[in-house]
Structure 1
Amino acid sequence: MNLIIDLGNTRIRYFVFNNNNEIDSSNLDLSDWEIELKKILDSYPSISSAIISDVNGSITREIENFLSQIPLIYCSSELNLPFESKYNPFNQLGSDRIALITSSVIEYPKENVLIIDLGTCITYDILTSNAIHLGGSISPGHVMRYKALNKFSGKLPLLEPEMVYKVIGENTEQAIHSGITNGIISEVKETINYYRKEFKFLKVILSGGDAQKLSKTLKNTIFANKNFLAKGLNFILSSNINK
């Protein structure tokens, strides 16, 4: 069995795979990582290897020490991967993006794919039909935009993030919600339009915490389920742990 650990900026997700089949998962605050990890290891003593995708770095060594009896690798550009990349330097490509690109190669072989991850940041990655990653772009995510407006302005309040599709805001709060939501929608739509002109028969994948909400406003996209990234990590682990 494989243990997949997706360590994000605010949350941690665990997945247990038996070969290519996900058999368990959990999604929790970073502060609860140790209790849940112990529970998983007690429940699945057959776990024989693990992989960590880490975009945070705050508790990585603690987890590594906790898993000292299990062969462990970190998702990185140094591993054996099912795609080539034009990203330069390649080691600056985040582990989450590497996992999503890998999953796209597996799920949509020989197809042009645009992967959009709507998380803390919004990342765009373009993968060609011959499994070459050309690069992409990064912009602030939904929550980050609220924090930026508050931090870098004198009077704008810090609001609880919402998806508000009404364009015309009739007060400051509505205007902030509208500007952020519709700004993201416009950005994503325009990026998709650009890549559709450049690449024929393009598959567009949406993943991340805000993907399900935004997928309703976007035509001809594929909403990736919650374990899309985990599938990529499981493939990477299986391809590298005994290499």
Structure 2
Amino acid sequence: MEQEFKAVVVDAGNTRIKVGLFQNHDLQEVRRFSNDELDKLKSYLIKYKNWPGIISSVRSDKNTKWIKGLLPNAMLFSHELPVPLTNHYESPKTLGIDRLANAIAAANISEKNALIIDVGTCIKYDFVRYPQIYEGGSISPGMELRYRAMHDFTGKLPLVEDHLQGPFIGKNTLEAMRSGVMNGMHLEMVGFIEEYRRLYPELTIFLTGGDSQYFELGNKYGIFADENLTLKGLLIALLHAQTTFSSGI
């Protein structure tokens, strides 16, 4: 009988930490923790301290080390780990590891070229050319950054902290700001999709990220919406690294 496989996967982003529990390669549970819930995160992770795992973190070295201390059997996902992907990025060490994890997942799922749109603190567009060749992409400000920039760099615009859509033509300042941010992000994503589809007609599109839920891109693009794409990419990276190290490659 095949031995049961379990793993804990941690995606530590700038504003939230997501933890996924995998059993026999299937995602069984996902928990999210804000920056104010680190005590809850500690209590949760301590239950899985003996599990194999992988940690992706864009946080400070101090915070990353703290998370690693809670999971001594987990490896850190970094550019030094072998990955099942050819990386054509000109500065691979500066490539965000969350972008790399998304690319790994998309390359594993798609049987043609893939575009990943990750909507979070920033909007990240990443292109994987079939088969399993990461080419690069684009980065633009996400929702919170756009609202905060308008507030911080003007004298009178308020800080908007909601996710309301608002009308297309704003009739007051708040509506105008919501229209600019929400419709601007939507039209930006549609523009990227249409240009990628023009360049690469055979294209699978993935939508992920914590703020992707606020945007409806419709069915016309055949989009795979998966808020846990990063976690799945990290699991694939973990399995590939374990296989590589055990074979002595």
Say yes or no: TM over 0.5: yes
Tell me the residue number matched to 1:213: 214
Distance change >3 Å, CA 143–CA 218, structure 1 → 2: farther
Q: Structure 1 residue 149: deviation in Å? A: 0.3
Tell me the residue number matched to 1:116: 117
1:38 and 2:39 are equivalent in the alignment: no
Tell me the residue number matched to 1:185: 186
Distance change >3 Å, CA 221–CA 166, structure 1 → 2: farther
- Secondary structure of 1:96's partner? helix
Deviation string, structure 1 residues 30-86 (Cα, Å, up to 9, x no partner): 2323433433432x47x431211112225111112233xx32322222211111121
Q: Structure 1 residue 161: deviation in Å? A: 2.8
Tell me the residue number matched to 1:103: 105
The answer to whether the 8 Å contact 1:4/1:14 transfers is yes
Q: Structure 1 residue 238: deviation in Å? A: 1.6
The runs of 5 or more residues in structure 1 that have no matched partner are none
Tell me the residue number matched to 2:3: none
Q: Structure 1 residue 165: deviation in Å? A: 5.1
Q: Structure 1 residue 95: deviation in Å? A: 1.1
Alpha-carbon separation, structure 1, partners of 2:224 and 2:59: 25
Tell me the residue number matched to 1:61: 65
Deviation string, structure 1 residues 106-139 (Cα, Å, up to 9, x no partner): 111x311110000000000011112111110000
Q: Structure 1 residue 219: deviation in Å? A: 2.9
Alpha-carbon separation, structure 2, partners of 1:194 and 1:147: 29
Q: What is the root-mean-square deviation of aligned Cα atoms in Å? A: 1.8
Matches within 5 A, 1:73-88: 73-88=75-90
The answer to whether the 8 Å contact 1:143/1:161 transfers is no
The answer to whether the 8 Å contact 2:114/2:204 transfers is yes
The answer to whether the 8 Å contact 2:208/2:228 transfers is no
Under a length normalisation based on structure 2, what TM-score does the superposition of the two structures give?
0.89
Matches within 5 A, 1:14-33: 14-33=19-38
1:227 and 2:231 are equivalent in the alignment: no
1:48 and 2:23 are equivalent in the alignment: no
The runs of 5 or more residues in structure 2 that have no matched partner are 1-5
Deviation string, structure 1 residues 143-181 (Cα, Å, up to 9, x no partner): 110000001111111012324252111111111000111
- Secondary structure of 1:59's partner? helix
1:176 and 2:181 are equivalent in the alignment: no
Alpha-carbon separation, structure 2, partners of 1:163 and 1:86: 38
Tell me the residue number matched to 1:5: 10
Q: Which moved more, 1:5-14 or 1:78-87?
A: 78-87
Under a length normalisation based on structure 1, what TM-score does the superposition of the two structures give?
0.91
1:152 and 2:156 are equivalent in the alignment: no
Distance change >3 Å, CA 55–CA 124, structure 1 → 2: same
- State the identity %: 35
Alpha-carbon separation, structure 2, partners of 1:123 and 1:218: 21
- Secondary structure of 1:82's partner? coil
